Every structure is written in C-alpha cells, then in structure tokens.
Copies of this chain bind each other. A is one copy, B any other.
Amino acid sequence: MTSHAEIERVAFRLFAEKGFVGTTLDDIAQAAGIGRRTLLRYYRSKNDIPWGQFDDTLDEFRNTLHTFDDRPLHEAVHLAVIEFNRFPAEAMAEHRVRMRLILTTPELQAHSVLRYADWRQVIAEYVAERTGSDPSALLPQTASQVALSLSMAGYGEWLSNDDTELSTVLEQALRTLHGYLEV
C-alpha cells in the first residue's frame, strides 16, 4: 500500500542525497516501489511533490480569515497569514526542510507562484467580500500580492536564522513595511 506520506518520505530522502534536479521521477518511483506512471497520478508533476497536500489547507485558511471578521481588514489578513503558518512544534523541522527546498531550487521557486495563486485567491476573495468589490479589482489583488510578498520576505529571513520563529518574522516583515513606507 502506497501513501502520499510514504512517497514524500522517499522523495525527500533522494532530494537530500542527489538534489531536486538530480533526482528523476524514475528514481523516486523505483525507490517507492511503484511505477513512474503511478507516481505521476499521485502528483501532477515532479514540481508538485514537495508541496504535499498544500491545497487541502486552503479551506482552513478561508475559515481562519473569517475568524477575524471583527478586526480591521488588513489586520484580519495579517493575523490569518500568521495563523496559516502555525505548525505543531514537532512539524517545524520538516517544514523547514520542505520550504528550504522549495525556496532555493529555481524550478520550485518558479512553480511556487502557481501554487500560491490559489492561496492569493483566497485572500482576494475575502478582501473583495469585505469591501463589496470584485476579487479581480485593484484592492483585493494588491492586498493579496502584498500579503504574499511579506510572507516571502519573512520566509527568507526565517530560513537564514535557525533560531527564529515564523510568526515573529512575519510580524517583523509587516512592521518593516510600515517603517519603509512612512520614513
């Protein structure tokens, strides 16, 4: 019996050994004891393997946003982003490995915008709903783009300091933006 968890365990081991590019789908399939064709049914592409079940978390993200309906809009988004990036302590080590791979491998960096497009859409829809506008309008799009850019800046900082907290750097990124825009 094969599972996503098992495949990812095997894949990450190979990525660590031979690098993402240096690992072929055949390598992963063989190491996982399944056919290459089957592997590509579990994941839409090689680039999607490191993302695991990311899409499944978006529903929860949507709910989290509505948790903050009573807060000012920008604050609601900010708090929800922080909440989205909260993981149990024992999962942080794995999350670091995963995100370091994604954010340092050019192929995966590129692919990430496609995965984050849905994430941004969740924010855009929330902002649109609260402002009575269309998700494609300038405010929802700007808010979601900026939310992503702050997350990226935060993650970069987080990955370069092993002893920082994700929630802390995301907070710092927002404060940094405030300082940058006002001074």
Contact = CB atoms under 8 A, between A and B. Distances in A.
Nearest to A75: B181
Contact of A142 (B111, B142, B145, B173): B173
Interface stretch (A10-18, A23-31, A52-60, A147-155): A147-155
A114 B111 CA distance: 10
Interface stretch (A32-40, A63-71, A133-141): A133-141
Contact of A141 (B141, B153, B183): B153
A146 B106 contact: no
Given A109-B114, A114-B110, A176-B139, A150 B145 contact: yes
A172 interface: yes
Given A110-B114, A138-B157, A146-B146, 6 more contacts: A73-B180, A74-B180, A138-B153, A141-B157, A142-B149, A142-B176
